[in-house]
Amino acid sequence: MPATDCQGSSTPLAQLGRSILSFRREQVHSMDSTLDSTTQHQVLEKFQRQVAERLQDLASVDSTNLLSVSWISKVLDVFLTCQEEFRVILSNNRALLNKPPTDRLISDLFERNVKALDVCNAIRDGIEQIRQCQKQLEIVLCALDSERSLGEGQFRRAKKALIDLAIGMLDEKESNSALSQRNRSFGRNNAQKDPRSLAHFRSLSWSVSRSWSASRQLQAIGNNLVAPRPSEIVATNGLSVAVFTMNYVLLFTMWVLVAAIPCQDRGLQTHFYIPRQYIWATSILSLHERILEVSKKRERKSACGLLKEIYEIEKCARLLNELTESIHFPLGQEKEGELRERVEKLRLVYGSVKDGLDPMERLVREVFHRIVRSRTEGLECLGRGNQE
């Protein structure tokens, strides 16, 4: 098949296609459960191309929507689609899974999957934190409802909610480790909640231990993640390229989640080492660089998460809180107009969070369960292969 170009380079599969095919022709015995080499080459090259197209679509996002709830959901959708296609590839190559070096590559992938499950659980907790912020916003919007005249009682209630919101976010920035209390996994939502303050989410049951670190977990997922050597590509009939690709899709997805969502000991120091001849490399490296640039901005350095909506909540709440400091009753017409305007901006941010948070959480849950199912199916294939 013709090579797919990327900055003048062809894909590793296209480059090594002749080697794989010649290798296959030299075999005396065929493997019944493995696709013939020509079809295998086409399937794997198609997988590379589709991964590249999806990541390129993610990379085309403008700076306004980068790291928004809707964009994060799109990242999760891309992972789920790639994971399903990769699952089919493994299923069609069962005979290779328990043979070296494929067995080692698959085993390493499954180990990274386990580490990714912890990240998913921590992100679920981070989403819960955002919900607590959302509740404080509800109090503010209810107290300063445009349908009612503003009285001192409603004003004091709104101001208290803004202060609680600011304190809660400040505590999160200063000490993420204070958020971990006890183990919790997906499907258990029986935590006791104290509705009196934003800080009640500190006492929820959490999915990771007090010493758990998102930064270290990402580093563990990325450890020893290197592109396959030509000999490995030939020995695995090209499957090692697909495994390497899925490893990086996994790492990139977890890194984006940790960058965007509040979680324990966040850190974005993970480095991505991808040979440029992989046609999806440019998109991942570009997004990695853009997100790091966002994290270096002065107003985002101490943020509990780079999610666009978190930044907008902080900004709107800060401006509204500053305005409340200068307001005295009876309220003048000019001040009331300015207050209504800022409340309306806060209402738009609230609506964006409200509409996007539940769908995003469902996708995080689906990623969690899809990883579990895929890993279980893979281990079963390995077990059947060993028995045969």
Q: Is the pLDDT of residue 302 over 50?
A: yes
Q: Are 369 and 113 in contact (CB under 8 A)?
A: no
Strands (E), the chain: none
Quote the pLDDT of residue 26: 42
At residue 4, the pLDDT reads 38
Query: In the structure, what pLDDT confidence band is assigned to residue 103 with cuts at 50, 70 and 90?
Result: very high
The tokens 């509990």 sit on which residue? 304
Q: What is the mean pLDDT of residues 382-388?
A: 60
Looking at residues 303-311, what average pLDDT do you find? Answer: 90
Query: What's the average model confidence in pLDDT over 263-289?
Result: 93
How many CA atoms lie within 13 Å of 176's alpha carbon, on the beta-carbon side? Answer: 24
Model pLDDT, residue 384: 63
Mean pLDDT (the chain) is 81
Q: How confident is the model at residue 12 (pLDDT cuts 50, 70, 90)?
A: very low
pLDDT at position 50, please? 97
Residue 144 is given by DSSP the state T
Question: Given pLDDT bands bounded at 50, 70 and 90, which one contains residue 188?
Answer: very low
pLDDT band at 30 (very low <50, low <70, confident <90, very high): very low
Asked if the model's pLDDT at residue 184 lies above 80, the reply is: no
Q: Considering the entire predicted model, what is its pTM?
A: 0.83
Range 17-32 average pLDDT = 38
**Model pLDDT, residue 179:** 37
Q: What is the mean pLDDT of residues 351-361?
A: 93
Q: State pLDDT tens for residues 137-174.
A: 999 999 888 666 777 788 888 888 888 887 766 544 44
d(CA 313, CA 350): 8
pLDDT of amino acid 232 = 95
Report the pLDDT value the prediction gives residue 164, as an integer from 0 to 100: 84
What whole-number percentage of the chain has pLDDT above 90? 51
Render 43-101 in DSSP notation, one character per residue.
HHHHHHHHHHHHHHHHHT--TTTTT-HHHHHHHHHHHHHHHHHHHHHHHTBHHHHTSTT
Query: Quick one: CA torsion of 78, 82, 83, 88, rounded to 10 degrees?
Result: 150
pLDDT tens for 205-222 read 456 777 899 999 999 999
